[in-house]
């Protein structure tokens, strides 16, 4: 059974990110999420349907999914997702997905913003960071590990476009020792163009309420039935089709 373990040495202190995802032209977000970062581990829950928690523990090569309705948990190895992504990159070279690889290789970055992509799929992100550079570097690493893991997991679950450009965006933002503050994604498919705006509100510490949330997740880890990913998918498919972890990731 999965359990909470003491943090790896040198991990970042706690912080939180609230994320609102909008389709351009709408006032109300289509997705909202809260992600808590503590001792190198990220805990992501949807504000729309908090029935599933995604825990990313990169130092221990794992994503843990916890489903409240069925009191289930399952673990996915991040290294397995990365291997699948590397295989997908190779396969994409000779398929119609090659256009997404070409876009992912086009990166512009400075201290204020990062742009990745082309006319097919384009991300533009403004940046935010705490004043302390050492903390900023740790926060950026922690957020990138989380965002990469969730984007790869959602790609495996068939949520959204191919993840190559988003992974390149995550890397470029981390290189600036920053987190995204606003991400605009413009996707063009044929004559149809869709734009998403994702707002990320970072607070560079955790509240008592946040720590209480993390403690409750620890209780779930100790008590929920641990099943393999196939069984978890079979028993929770209805809820997962309705909502997915956003992780600041426009779909």
Q: What is the pLDDT of residues 38-55, one digit of tens each?
A: 999 999 999 877 689 999
Phi, psi of 247 (to 5 degrees): 50, 35
Is 113 part of any domain? yes
Is 7 part of any domain? no
Q: Which CATH number is 172's domain given?
A: 2.50.20
Is 3 part of any domain? no
Q: What is the pLDDT of residues 140-161, one digit of tens each?
A: 999 999 999 999 999 888 766 7
Is 39 part of any domain? yes
Q: Give the residue with greater pLDDT, 13 vs 94.
A: 94
Q: Is the pLDDT of residue 243 over 60?
A: no
- Helices 133-156 + 164-175 axis angle, to 10: 170
Is 204 part of any domain? yes
- The contacts found for 114-121 with CB under 8 angstroms, 24 or more apart, are 114/169, 114/172, 114/173, 114/176, 114/180, 116/165, 116/166, 116/168, 116/169, 116/172, 117/165, 119/188, 120/187, 120/188, 121/161, 121/165, 121/185, 121/186, 121/187, 121/188
Per-residue model confidence (pLDDT) at position 176: 97
Instruction: Report whether 176 contacts 111 (CB < 8 A).
Output: yes
Is 34 part of any domain? yes
**Structural domains counted in the chain:** 1
Per-residue model confidence (pLDDT) at position 238: 63
Predicted TM-score (pTM) of the model is 0.88
Is 133 part of any domain? yes
Q: What is the pLDDT of residues 214-223, one digit of tens each?
A: 999 999 999 9
Average pLDDT over the chain, rounded to an integer: 88
Radius of gyration of the chain (CA): 18
Is 102 part of any domain? yes
Q: Is the pLDDT of residue 189 over 70?
A: yes
Phi, psi of 69 (to 5 degrees): -60, -45
Domain region containing 28: 15-242
């Amino acid at each position: 059974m999965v359990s909470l373990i003491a943090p790896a040495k040198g991990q970042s202190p706690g912080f939180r990110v609230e994320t609102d995802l909008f389709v351009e032209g709408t006032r109300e977000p289509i997705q909202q999420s809260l992600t808590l970062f503590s001792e190198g581990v990220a805990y992501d829950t949807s504000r729309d349907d908090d029935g599933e928690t995604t825990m990313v523990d990169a130092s221990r090569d794992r994503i843990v999914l916890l489903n409240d309705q069925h009191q289930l948990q399952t673990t996915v190895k991040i290294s397995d997702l990365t291997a699948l992504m590397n295989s997908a990159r190779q396969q994409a070279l000779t398929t119609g997905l090659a256009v997404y690889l070409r876009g992912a290789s086009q990166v512009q970055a400075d201290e204020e913003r990062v742009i990745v992509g082309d006319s097919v799929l384009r991300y533009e992100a403004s940046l935010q960071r705490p004043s302390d550079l050492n903390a900023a570097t740790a926060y950026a690493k922690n957020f990138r590990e989380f965002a990469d893991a969730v984007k790869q997991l959602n790609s495996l679950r068939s949520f959204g476009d191919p993840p190559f450009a988003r992974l390149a965006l995550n890397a470029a933002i981390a290189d600036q020792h920053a987190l995204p503050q606003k991400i605009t994604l413009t996707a063009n498919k044929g004559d149809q163009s869709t734009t998403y705006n994702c707002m990320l509100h970072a607070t560079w510490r955790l509240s008592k309420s946040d720590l209480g949330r993390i403690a409750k997740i620890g209780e779930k880890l100790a008590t929920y039935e641990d099943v393999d990913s196939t069984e978890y998918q079979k028993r929770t498919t209805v809820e997962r089709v309705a909502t997915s972890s956003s992780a600041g990731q426009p779909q």
